[in-house]
Amino acid sequence: MSSRTPFIVVLSLSLLAAPVTAGAQPPRKVPRIGYLVLAPLLEKPSPERAAFLEALSELGYVDGKTVSIEYRSAGWNAELLPDLAEELVRLNVDAIVTGGGGATAEAARQATKTIPIVVAASADPVGLGLVASLARPGGNITGTSLMAPELGSKRLELLKETVPKISRVAVLWHPRGAGRLEWQQTEAAARRLGVTLQSYEVRNADDVARALEAMTQKRPDAVIMFFDPLTSGYRVIISDFALKNRLPTIFGSREFAAAGGLMSYGPNIPELFRRAAVYVDKILKGAKPRDLPIEQPTKFELIVNLKTAKALGLTIPPSVLIRADQVVQ
């Protein structure tokens, strides 16, 4: 064998291998999303989580395949949120989606100033200090807001139209975030409609218990409760109290009507989570949160519980029923 044979063999193998090496591509990184919520994560996804995942799928992201989602839930214990947010930061996720109001978003904001945060259905991102403005968030936070100027007055108007004889209405509300704006709107509507309001600020279970005890003494004709993730966990207790005391109610989210409340009127929250998925897609493709304006709700829904109306001895006016997006039989 010639002394040049090994050289020729090596050269030939190199030439054969060269195209394969040149054409090889590094493995594509699977994006990782942190999903931080206040409510418990049940085996069956909530309507909000289901809407978020469906929207992601429509955009080409499938959990476990083309995207990895790290779920963290505080199980209604807001004190756990900071640790959970920091855990997601340590995992170096590409974006954090928060659901559950200002406490969840605030925990994420405190945990990171660099990882993009998408708030889903935040009550008042400007008032809470999360962003500089809705049009120009200015930092690492963007997303969707629950804020809508007409909500407070609209709920009282619907309640008065449904039960014209009411004159004293108890209002349960969280004073942080959008609650104060809704309270001001409700006050203005009350003056116009000749209704006296009884204000109960509720932040936790103790406040709810005190409010219900006070209502047994002051005897309102009806109850309004604004939507707030921190207090929505008490919806069954409040709805049961209202039924027992034969009080018509209107709440800020559909879960209350499903739990036995008479009516609910508010933004379509699953739709806001769908929009949050769109923000995630834009961020994963290179957009900066500071350049993505906060979206306000455009879809509102009226839910009427006819079963509760019957238990209260009420007949829902046709003018209200015809506007209902859903009727619970």
Q: What is the CATH number of the domain that holds 221?
A: 3.40.50.2300
Close Cβ partners of 267 (under 8 Å, ≥ 6 residues apart): 121, 146, 148, 297, 299, 300, 301
Q: 9 lies in a domain?
A: no
pLDDT at position 120 over 80: yes
My answer on whether 222 and 115 are in the same domain is: no
My answer on whether 187 and 254 are in the same domain is: yes
Q: 313 lies in a domain?
A: yes
Please give the residue that has the higher pLDDT: either 244 or 5: 244
Mean pLDDT score, 8-34: 58
My answer on whether 48 and 166 are in the same domain is: no
My answer on whether 316 and 275 are in the same domain is: no
Please state, in angstroms and as integers, the Cα–Cα distance from residue 211 to each residue in 155, 205, 219, following that order: 20, 10, 11
- The dihedral built from the CA positions of residue 62, 99, 170 and 152, taken in this order, carries a sign that is negative
My answer on whether 107 and 205 are in the same domain is: no
Q: 15 lies in a domain?
A: no
My answer on whether 122 and 238 are in the same domain is: no
My answer on whether 307 and 165 are in the same domain is: yes
Mean pLDDT over all residues of the chain?
87
**Cα separation, 187 vs 295, whole angstroms:** 26
Q: What is the Cα gyration radius of the chain? A: 26
| Least confident piece of the model among 22-26, 178-182, 277-281 | 22-26
Domain containing 42 equals 32-147+268-298
Beta strands 249-251; 95-99: pairing state: unpaired
Q: 2 lies in a domain?
A: no
Residue 16: the pLDDT is 47
Q: How confident is the model at residue 11 (pLDDT cuts 50, 70, 90)?
A: very low
CB-count burial class (<10 Å; 0-12, 13-18, 19+) for 318? exposed
My answer on whether 199 and 310 are in the same domain is: yes
Residue 324: the pLDDT is 94
